[in-house]
């Protein structure tokens, strides 16, 4: 197995009828199994048993077809994969290949430029498998083209079957299959059975796991017979529940296994407690139930935290992006406020000079000017006419020699600039 044993849940069962001791070993990652179990629990149900599809199909086959002397190939065509079961006497060999109904849908989507859902609709509504010998000449041109796309996509499966049969015969001493059974939803397309007869040159029929079942009242027997090849896994699981299965693979999660063990011990514990002290027994049972619920709650909380943990980094990144955007927005709003300040100031000055009673008495360019500043005059009192700022033009600018600047060297008043804020910016 490609994973360390502590990370998987696994089970095995010996196979009868082999020349040497053989066993079927099945394993699944424990965390994947826990996720499935959590989904079952969230739906309000509990996990009773966990099986794998090939084993369930094998049990359903045994219940109907027994132990055939000839080698039989059961092909279960699913959505993403197809399960191949070679059954010979009491022996069997299984392999999953990555070819299924989804591959056909993907081929249709690629050929016609459709979405996967639209391609699936076309496959179900108008799809069929083209056969050799001019089978599509009598069909509508568009239907014939679609049938050829489906045939080309499905041709990969017979090639995988031939490769698997060769491996089964050379490495496991098995025989080539003498007949073929089709199962699964991928076998629903018209002419699928005839396609495999053509490609494998073997007799092919649909798998019928419901042959020996009694149909309940209110159930349409015709529908069950028509869609029986879709129910192989369900029949196999039902046989497990009834104790009539040939192979029993148990892949329940650890938490379910612990609950089973606790359930087995409950009658003895309760009986002993009832003999000694009924009250103590009732209290112990209550504590056990509370602990079980607490463990389930803790498991659920831990899983929720693990699911939310990857989102923490995304949230922090979004908060940082929000801060950066806020800085940029603040810069834009500040610039707009500064622009409005100077526009309002100019409007006010323009309005003041609209009157004939207002005129200029002095015009002098200065730096570091603060219109709100007050100073102390020569008499030591506050002089509201105090003029802040420094002149940019020398007083004797008219005596400046040629080539010399008439501007004063004025240094920026950092403190005054900070008090005024950004109003001088545009």
Judge whether residue 421 has pLDDT over 60. no
> CB within 8 A of 129, min separation 6: which ones?
147, 150, 151, 154, 189, 190, 191, 192, 194, 195
Q: Which of 170-174, 280-284, 347-351, 412-416 has the lowest mean pLDDT?
A: 412-416
Phi, psi of 163, rounded to the nearest 5 degrees: -65, -40
Range of the domain at 26: 5-251
Per-residue three-class SS string for 264-317: HHHHHHHHHHHHHCHHHHHHHHHHHHHHHHHHHHHHHHHHHHHHHHHHHHHHHH
Mark whether 258 and 245 lie in a shared domain.
no
CB 76 within 8 A of CB 96: no
Q: What is the pLDDT of residue 363?
A: 64
Judge whether residue 405 has pLDDT over 60. yes
- Asked if the structure places residue 426 within a domain, the reply is no
- Asked if the structure places residue 308 within a domain, the reply is yes
**Token pair listed for 278:** 């009924």
Mark whether 157 and 32 lie in a shared domain.
yes
Mark whether 262 and 244 lie in a shared domain.
no
The C-alpha angle with vertex 285 and arms to 284 and 290, in degrees rounded to 5, equals 95
pLDDT digits (tens, 9 = 90+) for 233-262: 889 888 888 888 888 888 777 777 777 666
pLDDT digits (tens, 9 = 90+) for 267-315: 666 766 667 666 666 677 778 788 888 888 888 888 888 777 777 778 8
Bridge partners of 72, per DSSP, are: 87, 179
CB 106 within 8 A of CB 119: yes
Mark whether 154 and 280 lie in a shared domain.
no
Mark whether 303 and 345 lie in a shared domain.
yes
Quickly state the pLDDT bin for 381 (edges 50, 70, 90). low
- Asked if the structure places residue 425 within a domain, the reply is no
CA gap 311, 305 in Å, rounded: 10
Quickly state the pLDDT bin for 85 (edges 50, 70, 90). very high
CATH, residue 140: 3.30.420.40
Q: Tell me the helices (H) and strands (E) count for the chain, helix number first.
A: 12, 11
Q: Which residue has the tokens 């069950």?
A: 224
Judge whether residue 88 has pLDDT over 70. yes
Q: What is the pLDDT of residue 5?
A: 84
CB 408 within 8 A of CB 392: yes
Which H or E element spans position 10? Answer: strand 8-15
Q: What DSSP string describes 178-226? A: SEEEEESGGG-STTHHHHHHHHH-S-EEE--TTTTPPPPTTS-HHHHHH
Average pLDDT over residues 198-202: 93
Mark whether 204 and 315 lie in a shared domain.
no
Mark whether 265 and 341 lie in a shared domain.
yes
Q: What is the pLDDT of residue 195?
A: 93
Domain count, the chain: 3
Mark whether 350 and 228 lie in a shared domain.
no
Show which of 318, 336, 354 is a domain's final residue.
Answer: 354
Mark whether 42 and 131 lie in a shared domain.
yes
Show which of 231, 251, 271 is a domain's final residue.
Answer: 251
pLDDT digits (tens, 9 = 90+) for 326-335: 888 888 888 8
pLDDT digits (tens, 9 = 90+) for 29-58: 888 888 888 898 899 988 888 888 888 899
Residue 52 half-sphere exposure toward CB, CA atoms < 13 A: 21
Q: What is the pTM of this model?
A: 0.58
Show which of 354, 374, 404 is a domain's final residue.
Answer: 354
Q: What is the pLDDT of residue 259?
A: 72
Mark whether 123 and 243 lie in a shared domain.
yes
Q: What is the pLDDT of residue 194?
A: 92
Judge whether residue 66 has pLDDT over 90. no
CA gap 45, 256 in Å, rounded: 13
CB 127 within 8 A of CB 189: yes
**Token pair listed for 266:** 């409950």
Mark whether 189 and 300 lie in a shared domain.
no
Phi, psi of 285, rounded to the nearest 5 degrees: -65, -40
């Amino acid at each position: 197995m490609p994973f360390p044993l502590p990370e998987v849940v696994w089970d095995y069962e010996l196979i009868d009828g082999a020349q040497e001791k053989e066993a079927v070993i099945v394993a699944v990652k424990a965390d994947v199994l826990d996720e499935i179990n959590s989904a079952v629990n969230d739906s309000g149900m509990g996990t009773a048993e966990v099986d794998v599809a090939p084993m369930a199909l094998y049990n359903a086959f045994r219940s109907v077809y027994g132990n055939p002397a000839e080698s039989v190939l059961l092909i279960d065509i699913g959505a993403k994969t197809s399960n191949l079961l070679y059954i010979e006497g009491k022996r069997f060999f299984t392999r999953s290949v990555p070819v299924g109904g989804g591959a056909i849908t993907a081929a249709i989507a690629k050929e016609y430029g459709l979405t996967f859902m639209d391609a699936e609709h076309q496959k179900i509504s108008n799809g069929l498998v083209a056969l050799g010998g001019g089978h599509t000449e009598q069909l509508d041109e568009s239907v014939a083209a679609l049938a050829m796309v489906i045939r080309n996509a499905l041709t990969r499966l017979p090639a995988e079957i031939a490769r698997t049969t060769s491996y089964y015969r050379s490495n496991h001493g098995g025989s080539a299959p003498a007949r073929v059974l089709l199962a699964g939803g991928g076998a629903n397309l018209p002419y699928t059975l005839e396609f495999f007869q053509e490609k494998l040159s073997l007799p092919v029929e649909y798998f019928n796991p419901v042959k020996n079942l009694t149909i309940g009242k209110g159930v349409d027997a015709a529908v069950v017979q028509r869609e029986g090849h879709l129910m192989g896994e369900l029949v196999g699981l039902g046989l497990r529940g009834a104790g009539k299965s040939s192979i029993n693979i148990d892949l329940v999660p650890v938490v379910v296994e612990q609950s089973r063990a606790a359930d087995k011990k409950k009658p003895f514990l309760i009986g002993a407690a009832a003999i000694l002290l009924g009250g103590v027994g009732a209290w112990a049972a209550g504590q056990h139930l509370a602990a079980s619920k607490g463990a389930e709650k803790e498991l659920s909380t831990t899983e929720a935290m693990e699911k939310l943990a990857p989102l923490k980094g995304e949230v922090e990144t979004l908060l940082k992006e929000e801060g950066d955007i806020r800085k940029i927005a603040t810069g834009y709003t500040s610039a707009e406020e500064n622009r409005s300040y100077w526009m309002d100031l100019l409007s006010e000055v323009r309005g003041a000079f609209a009157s004939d009673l207002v005129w200029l008495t002095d015009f002098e360019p200065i730096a570091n000017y603060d219109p709100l500043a007050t100073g102390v005059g020569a008499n030591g009192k506050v002089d509201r006419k105090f003029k802040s700022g420094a002149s940019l033009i020398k007083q004797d600018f008219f005596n400046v020699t040629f080539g010399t600047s008439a501007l004063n060297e004025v240094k920026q008043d950092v403190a005054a600039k900070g008090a005024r804020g950004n109003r001088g910016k545009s």
